[in-house]
Amino acid sequence: MEALDYHAEERRKAEFDLEEMKIVWAGSRQNYEVFRKDNRTMLSRKDLFKDTLRKAAHAWKRIIELRLSEEEAHMLRSYVDQPAFTDLHWGMFIPAIKGQGTEEQHEKWLPMAYKMQIIGCYAQTELGHGSNVQGLETTATFDPQTDEFVIHSPTLTSSKWWPGGLGKVSTHAVVYARLITGAQDHGVHGFIVQLRSLDDHSPLPGITVGDIGMKFGSGAYNSMDNGLLRFDHVRIPRNQMLMRVSQVTREGKFVQSDVPRQLVYGTMVYVRQTIVSDASCALARAVCIATRYSAVRRQFGSQNGGPETQVIDYKTQQSRLFPLLASAYAFRFVGEWLKWLYADVTQRLQANDFSTLPEAHACTAGLKSMTTSVTADAIEECRKLCGGHGYLSNSGLPELFAVYIPTCTYEGDNVVLLLQVARFLMKTVSQLGSGKKPVGTTAYMGRAEHLMQCRCEVERAEDWLKPSVILAAFEARAFRMSIGCAKNLSKFSNPEDGFSELSPDLLEAAIAHCQLIVVSKYIEKLQQDIPGKGVKRQLEILCNVYALHLLHKHLGDFVTTSCITPKQGALANEQLRLLYSQVRPNAITLVDAFNYTDHYLGSVLGCYNGNVYQRLYEEAWKDPLNDTVVPDGYLEYVWPILKQHIRTARL
């Protein structure tokens, strides 16, 4: 007998067409038994890893059989929803060769990589250095007598540490090392290095490689073989240095090509834009679970023996949950825009136009930092919104959190990335008087005089529903915070001392700039053709929730920079409360639009039909501890305590 749909009444409240909203979100996940994951948290590390290998192999089999495109294959791998060596092969190894290799290197290595005849990883981070790439210690010394590079790990801290896929699977790696010719150090460059035999998978001579051990969580990221790697004078041919940006000749001469070194930013832009897109998906999953459960859970408020109040009807729950729902949509739209940005940058690179690279690099660095930090915090907030049951592994939230939080560190520590954005903003401000117009996401700075003088015209709460009013406030706030930092920096005789001293303020200015980008791209999305008036109306409500929640959260910034008055801030908060009431009837349908199946969500709390308590009860009995009525160890350790035989028991 099919379970009752406890969310059916919530879905009948919806004020828009679900299928039209699904088109906007464009999410789709299908059930597939071979990819079951409900037992992951109960597997040993070895069994979990073998399970990952099995799923990766089956996914590759289906990709070949169905002749999936690269985009479709990526969707299938994301659906498997289990961190695996394939993530780094497709997400880092191949893009690094494509972005930094020559045409000849493309012809040699990419066909093998695309067919997975070789499996690669990205070996940059070391035991002693991560964010400071220029401080890496691994060396690649050219030997002109043999026309080879000698890759070596001179210290313990030069051991490569953390690369996913490296520990047990990868046959090759793009290794970043200090290029040395003669006695000259040319800085860090990339090299393609074979790590393991293609016959028996054993490490090649001079290579020490293994897994770095268990990580945070149960299943979570422990399905990934993050590895350690040391080189003992390993020799590779000269042509395995990635040479699109710079080369070493047969005679050992270092030659810089006409292609700017900034070309490596192209790979970073690609990777970071995918991370932003992934942030929206992870946040949507957490919000879907918390929203569905909040509609089922009832606590307090019973009148005359009637039902208790749905948790989702409490304003405290709405004020914590609905901004996260709005953020999921906001990150989705800025992720779509970043895909366009990457395509634009790629086109320009092919035409040897590198003019937009610095801005694109700063933009993606900042958005990667902001969206991943917000998403990591939001997943934990969703767990707390689910009360005690959110702490269970089968709620799906603890494992989602454990899998997701590494994004705050990998591909650039979030604080370090924001400081890079701040440097870019300070450089942009310094050039305002030179006649050079800011471009892209900093174009608003070209209206410096207006942004310094404009005042918010809000007189009533509903004035905050005007996109132009919201955008003006966010632009003025971001610009004035950047100008304030620039003025304070100018007081220091040594700019680096100033940057260090003012780094907390610079971080806040960078965040303000990134939040402006997301708000502006959301508003731009609303100006496009959107199917269904009801859908567009809901997206407008969520856009206003996102913007006004940020304004409320950072009210101090808006007031102290004189962008708005305290009274206008109070009106914004009044309007925000009204918006929560407008989100409420559509909450369940808004998360249904993500189109995530129960299998993909992996949560008893977030199941589509809302039959939470029955599923919680059934899942409890699946735990291995319940395989026996009397637990193993009872006679040895519990019985002596109960019978007061501790003194004579052999514990």
Q: What are phi and psi of 208, to 5 degrees?
A: -110, 125
- The Cα–Cα gap between 457 and 472 comes to 10
Q: What is the DSSP letter of 491?
A: T
Q: Has residue 32 got a pLDDT over 70?
A: no
Domains detected in the chain: 92-259 (2.40.110.10), 266-435+450-592 (1.20.140.10)
- Is 125 annotated as belonging to a binding site? yes
- The Cα–Cα gap between 590 and 322 comes to 11
Q: Which pLDDT score, from 0 to 100, does residue 30 have? A: 55
Average pLDDT over residues 157-161: 97
Strands 207-211 and 254-256: unpaired
- The Cα–Cα gap between 222 and 213 comes to 8
Reading the block at residue 270, the tokens are: 């690609």
- The Cα–Cα gap between 310 and 317 comes to 10
Average pLDDT over residues 180-191: 94
Q: What are phi and psi of 189, to 5 degrees?
A: -135, 165
The SS3 of residue 596 is coil
Average pLDDT over residues 395-417: 94
- The Cα–Cα gap between 348 and 265 comes to 13
Reading the block at residue 251, the tokens are: 């005679």
- The Cα–Cα gap between 162 and 227 comes to 5
- Angle, nearest 10°, between helix axes 503-526 and 315-350? 90
CA distances 602 to 80, 356, 615, Å, are 11, 41, 12
* List of residues 6+ apart from 505 with CB closer than 8 A: 481, 484, 485, 488
- The Cα–Cα gap between 5 and 42 comes to 29
Strands 172-181 and 120-123: parallel
Closest CA to 446 of 427, 430, 465, 432: 432
- The Cα–Cα gap between 167 and 229 comes to 8
Reading the block at residue 46, the tokens are: 């070895």
- Is 164 annotated as belonging to a binding site? yes
Handedness of CA 292, 296, 297, 303 (dihedral sign): positive
Reading the block at residue 205, the tokens are: 């001579």
* List of residues 6+ apart from 460 with CB closer than 8 A: 571
Average pLDDT over residues 207-228: 95
The pLDDT tens digits for 596-647 are 999 999 999 999 999 999 999 999 999 999 999 999 999 999 998 898 876 6
Q: Has residue 495 got a pLDDT over 50?
A: yes
Largest Cα–Cα distance in the chain?
92
- Angle, nearest 10°, between helix axes 533-553 and 503-526? 170
Q: Which amino acid is at 278?
A: D
Tokens 């992934």 belong to 278
The pLDDT tens digits for 354-379 are 788 888 889 999 999 999 999 999 99
Q: Which pLDDT score, from 0 to 100, does residue 359 have? A: 86
pTM of the predicted protein model: 0.92
| Range of lowest pLDDT (316-325, 350-359, 568-577) | 350-359
- Angle, nearest 10°, between helix axes 357-385 and 503-526? 90
- The Cα–Cα gap between 110 and 230 comes to 25
Average pLDDT over residues 385-402: 96
Average pLDDT over residues 411-418: 93
The SS3 of residue 310 is strand
Closest CA to 249 of 168, 163, 186, 196: 186
Q: What are phi and psi of 524, to 5 degrees?
A: -60, -40
Rounded to the nearest integer, the mean pLDDT of the chain is: 93
Answer whether 448's CB lies under 8 Å from 392's CB: no
Q: What is the DSSP letter of 4?
A: P
Reading the block at residue 352, the tokens are: 């040897």
- The Cα–Cα gap between 211 and 223 comes to 11
Q: Which pLDDT score, from 0 to 100, does residue 31 have? A: 53
Q: Which pLDDT score, from 0 to 100, does residue 1 have? A: 35
Answer whether 76's CB lies under 8 Å from 63's CB: yes
Q: Which pLDDT score, from 0 to 100, does residue 356 have? A: 83
Q: Which pLDDT score, from 0 to 100, does residue 592 have? A: 96
Q: Has residue 166 got a pLDDT over 90?
A: yes
End-to-end, the C-alpha distance of the chain in Å comes to 50
Reading the block at residue 166, the tokens are: 């490296």
Q: What is the DSSP letter of 220?
A: G
Count of residues in the chain: 651
Answer whether 598's CB lies under 8 Å from 30's CB: no
Answer whether 11's CB lies under 8 Å from 592's CB: yes
Which member of 137, 411, 475, 540 is catalytic? 411
Q: Which residue has the higher pLDDT, 264 or 138?
A: 138
* List of residues 6+ apart from 637 with CB closer than 8 A: 651
411 in catalytic set: yes
- The Cα–Cα gap between 572 and 551 comes to 8
Residue 650 pLDDT grade (very low, low, confident, very high; cuts 50, 70, 90): low
Q: Has residue 651 got a pLDDT over 70?
A: no
Reading the block at residue 345, the tokens are: 């940058």
Average pLDDT over residues 573-582: 97
- The Cα–Cα gap between 625 and 30 comes to 31
- Angle, nearest 10°, between helix axes 264-296 and 357-385? 20
Strands 160-161 and 148-152: unpaired
Q: Has residue 126 got a pLDDT over 60?
A: yes
